[in-house]
Amino acid sequence: MLPLFIRSIKFLVGGAFIFVLGLALYGTVSTWITEPPAETAEEAMHHHPKELHLASDGPLGKFDNQQLQRGFLVFEKVCASCHSLSLVSFRDLQQIGYSEAEVKKIAKDWPVKQPVQDPKAGTWGERDNLPSDRFPKVYYPGTGTPPDLSLITKARHGGAAYVHSLLTGYNEKPSAEALKKFPEFAKTPDGMYFNPYFANLNIAMPPPLTQDDQVTFSDGTRATVDQMAQDVSAFLVWTAEPTMQRRHAAGVAVVLFLLIATGLAYGAYLTVWRGVKH
Amino acid sequence: MSFPWARHYEPKNPLTQWIDSRLPLPRFVYNAVGAGYPVPRNLNYFWNFGVLAGVALVVQIVTGIVLAMHFHSSAAGAFDSINATIMRDVNAGWFLRFAHANGASMFLLVVYIHIFRGLYYGSYKAPREMVWLIGVVIFLLLMATAFMGYVLPWGQMSFWGAQVITGFFSAIPVVGEWIRIWLLGGYAPDDAALNRFFSLHYLLPFVIAGAVILHIWALHIPGSSNPTGVEVKGEQDTVPFHPYYTAKDGFGVGVFLIVFSTLIFFFPDLLGHPDNYIPANPLSTPAHIVPEWYFWPFYAILRAFTADFIIAAKLWGVVAMFGSIILLFFLPWLDSSPVRSANYRPMYRVAFWVLVLDVLVLGYCGGSAATPGIVVLSQICAAYYFAHFLIIVPIISRLERPKPLPNSITEAVLGDKGGSRMTETAVSA
């Protein structure tokens, strides 16, 4: 009796797992039939980001410094009043074409100052920003928590395209068909704004880019809402990884080297094995 | 042990003779991975993956040691130390970070191919059971190390991943919750958990390296298996590891590095999750908590158990998830067929490819949101997974009529794949 039990223990264990999975399967299928999952408001109304093409796209993408500078202007004049950019330093701006003197001035004139504590009195004061400082943290007292924007294009599905769509998506209203199913979306709650590109559909951020020429670009580009949204998205691709262009350049050299080295290694392999059937 | 025809290390110059008579380390290396180790001549490219896994381990240790010099293991500082200091300020820090993160994926990828190669060619069978058993231990250590490493950036997925995985222990009846708190050093992941994960994440790779040495030692007792599964009969069946397989592995490592570099330099975030670029926030649960891709099949098995039966559904899921790996320890005794290679096992070969498909579908399910359709698919595939190892393979190994084996490796190499003709002379090409 015992040897038989030991020999068949594998079937018993396997059978137990399959039996429990069978029960679970029965449960899942019967609930699926009796209570089919209802369509959610997100499924009915959420939109995937619109297509956006930037110079930094793709495995060989490069930054377009002129566009990044326009994007920085939009960030400075519009986004920076609520959003932090705490992983980026003022000095990093030199990488997108600002001179050392310009960076010094940008840092000095930045409205939010660096907090400093007096080591003798223990009281807090503030000082002007230096190029070596990171962008100071912004404290926002209103509804919602504006996320830090340093990594935002890496931290959202769709990246820059998502940011661009979100910024330009406030005009899109739910369809009549969707409203019939979800009448609560006919009126957006106070302090919230409908935006079909936002995961929860209602977002606390008021439309930030509301009219053309909200900022003035020094390179003569017309500041339409769409243009400003594109430029700031491009800028936020740069803030998320300022070393991206260097990474691409290094990658080309590394992969070319490896292709040659691997070709040589393949030649060595053929030479060593010549005449040995395998 | 080695075959009697293995070459012997003969130091030529006085210095190497002096070293050899005092500490025969060069002799040890010569016999392990040099000309002193005879290897079947017919190994195909799937036999490159063991060496590739070794290369991946070295890459992870080297990049990891440098990253640890810049990492702050505190809940307040971890995210910034990686995403600001390492990514922006450390020289080539972005390269180290992306190499380490994608290196984990490459490591698991080559290890999975290595494991499935072992399953196809019956590498777990006598006399190589010990090689297989140590291999499963390495796989478990690797998964633990990968999980703890993923927690260190302290992003949203890091935090909630740690929450979910340590939550497994709370499924244990009575003492579960207490064990979870003890493991975390608190009620939720925080400084204590992050610090112990960092400590263990630094320790375990060296434990893995030790287990790898045992793995290779155990392999060198019977010698490497081969695609025919027929044991080595004589000198004509083997070639010395060096220069034959060092040359072939050199090419394999080149291809590995090309794929690896393409990921690092051109698609570094392809295998990551966007949520891990959001700092950990204990008050905001992500919509979908998903582990890294290499855990997806096991995550699907965990989520497939949705029915309470004697014990709670959650406990079934945890037991099944660990069981799905633990049962690999018993595989050498579950498969009693004396034939190793699936090339000569028509029924097992079909079962093998169905298992590959099954695991790929489980992986797909584990990476998707748990809609009823996905759950049903996971339940069917999880049932097949257990059926494969515990029911189908044991039965097949009794019922199956294997195809005739070649008489020797040399005969198979010289063209008689099916094998019935005796090779009179051992032809050494």
- The tokens describing A226, both together, are 């769409």
Per the residue annotation, which of B237, B292, B335, B358 is the catalytic one? B292
Per-residue pLDDT, B1: 52
Average pLDDT over residues B223-228: 95
Cβ of B394 within 8 Å of Cβ of A11? The answer is: yes
- The tokens describing A90, both together, are 């003022």
- The tokens describing A71, both together, are 């994007």
Active site residue B2: no
Closest to B194 (Cα-Cα) out of B90, B298, B281, B72: B72
Active site residue B114: no
Q: What is the pLDDT of residues B249-261, one digit of tens each?
A: 999 999 999 999 9
In total, chain B counts a number of residues equal to: 429
Give helix then strand counts, H and E, for chain B: 17, 2
**Is A10 within 8 Å of chain B by CB?**
yes
Compute the CA torsion angle A274, B2, B4, B6 (nearest 10 deg).
Answer: 30
Active site residue B225: no
Domain boundaries, chain B: 43-269, 296-429
Nearest CA in chain A to B270: A154
Q: Which CA distances in Å does A277 have to A270, B163, B236, B422?
A: 11, 55, 11, 18
pLDDT in tens, chain A (278 residues): 778 888 899 999 999 999 999 999 999 999 999 999 888 888 889 999 999 999 999 999 999 999 999 999 999 999 999 999 999 999 999 999 999 999 999 999 999 999 999 999 999 999 999 999 999 999 998 888 899 999 999 999 999 999 999 999 999 888 888 888 898 888 888 889 999 999 989 999 999 999 999 999 999 999 999 999 999 999 999 999 999 999 999 999 999 999 999 999 999 999 999 988 88
Residue B428 has pLDDT above 70, yes or no: no
Q: Which residues of A touch B274 (CB under 8 A)?
A: 154-157
- Is residue A242 within 8 Å of A85, Cβ to Cβ? no
Per-residue pLDDT, B419: 43
Q: Which CA distances in Å does A184 have to A170, A196, A202?
A: 18, 15, 11
Chain B interface test: which of A269, A270, A276 (most B C-beta within 10 Å) = A269
DSSP string for A96-145: GT--HHHHHHHHHH-SSPEEEE-TTT--EEEE---TTSBPPPPP--SSS-
- Is residue B204 within 8 Å of B141, Cβ to Cβ? yes
Q: Angle CA(A187)–CA(A192)–CA(A198) in degrees, nearest 5? A: 100
Place of tokens 């995937």: A48
- Is residue B241 within 8 Å of B39, Cβ to Cβ? yes
Q: What is the pLDDT of residues B282-296, one digit of tens each?
A: 999 998 999 999 999
For residue B23, give how far its alpha carbon lies from the nearest alpha carbon of chain A (Å): 31
Active site residue B123: no
More confident residue, B257 or B427: B257
Chain A interface test: which of B266, B283, B324 (most A C-beta within 10 Å) = B266
DSSP bridge pairs for A125: A116
- Is residue A14 within 8 Å of B334, Cβ to Cβ? no
Per-residue pLDDT, A278: 82
Beta-strand relationship, A124-127 and A114-117: antiparallel
Cβ of B386 within 8 Å of Cβ of A14? The answer is: yes
Cβ of B251 within 8 Å of Cβ of A268? The answer is: yes
**Is A49 within 8 Å of chain B by CB?**
no
Handedness of CA B397, B398, B404, B407 (dihedral sign): positive
Question: How far apart are alpha carbons B346 and B238 in whole angstroms?
Answer: 27
For B239, phi then psi, to 5°, come to -130, 155
Per-residue pLDDT, B2: 75
Question: How far apart are alpha carbons B242 and A249 in whole angstroms?
Answer: 36
For residue A216, give how far its alpha carbon lies from the nearest alpha carbon of chain B (Å): 30
Q: Which residues of A touch B88 (CB under 8 A)?
A: 87-89, 92, 242-243
Question: How far apart are alpha carbons A17 and A15 in whole angstroms?
Answer: 6
- The tokens describing B238, both together, are 């083997």
Q: Assign residue A112 a region: left if phi > 0, alpha if psi is -120 to 50, beta otherwise?
A: beta
* CATH for the stretch B43-269: 1.20.810.10
Q: Which residues of B touch A265 (CB under 8 A)?
A: 247, 250-251, 253-254
- Is residue B171 within 8 Å of B290, Cβ to Cβ? no
DSSP bridge pairs for A126: A115
For B172, phi then psi, to 5°, come to -65, 130
Cβ of A276 within 8 Å of Cβ of B41? The answer is: yes
Closest to A168 (Cα-Cα) out of A224, A94, A124: A224
Per the residue annotation, which of B70, B220, B403, B417 is the catalytic one? B220
Place of tokens 């090309």: B258
- Is residue B170 within 8 Å of B187, Cβ to Cβ? no
Confidence label for B13 from pLDDT (cuts 50, 70 and 90): very high
Question: How far apart are alpha carbons B303 and B382 in whole angstroms?
Answer: 10
ipTM above 0.90, yes or no: yes
- Number of alpha carbons in the 13 Å side-chain half-sphere of residue A271: 11
DSSP string for chain A: -HHHHHHTHHHHHHHHHHHHHHHHHHHHHHHHHHSPPPPPHHHHH--PPPP---TT-STT----HHHHHHHHHHHHHTGGGT---TT-BGGGGGGGT--HHHHHHHHHH-SSPEEEE-TTT--EEEE---TTSBPPPPP--SSS-PPP-TTTTTSSTTHHHHHHHHHH-TT----HHHHHH-GGGGSPPTT-EE-TTSTTSEESSPPS--STTSS--TT-----HHHHHHHHHHHHHHHH-TTHHHHHHHHHHHHHHHHHHHHHHHHHHHHHHTT---
- The tokens describing B15, both together, are 């210095």
Residue B421 has pLDDT above 70, yes or no: no
Rg (CA), chain B: 24
Q: Which residues of B touch A247 (CB under 8 A)?
A: 94-95, 98, 265, 268
Active site residue B81: no
Residue B93 has pLDDT above 50, yes or no: yes
DSSP string for B247-259: HHHHHHHHHHHHH
Confidence label for B418 from pLDDT (cuts 50, 70 and 90): very low
Q: Which residues of B touch A24 (CB under 8 A)?
A: 304-307, 313, 379
Per-residue pLDDT, A142: 85
- Is residue A215 within 8 Å of A51, Cβ to Cβ? no
Question: How far apart are alpha carbons B393 and B185 in whole angstroms?
Answer: 43
- Is residue A56 within 8 Å of A104, Cβ to Cβ? no
Per-residue pLDDT, B289: 92
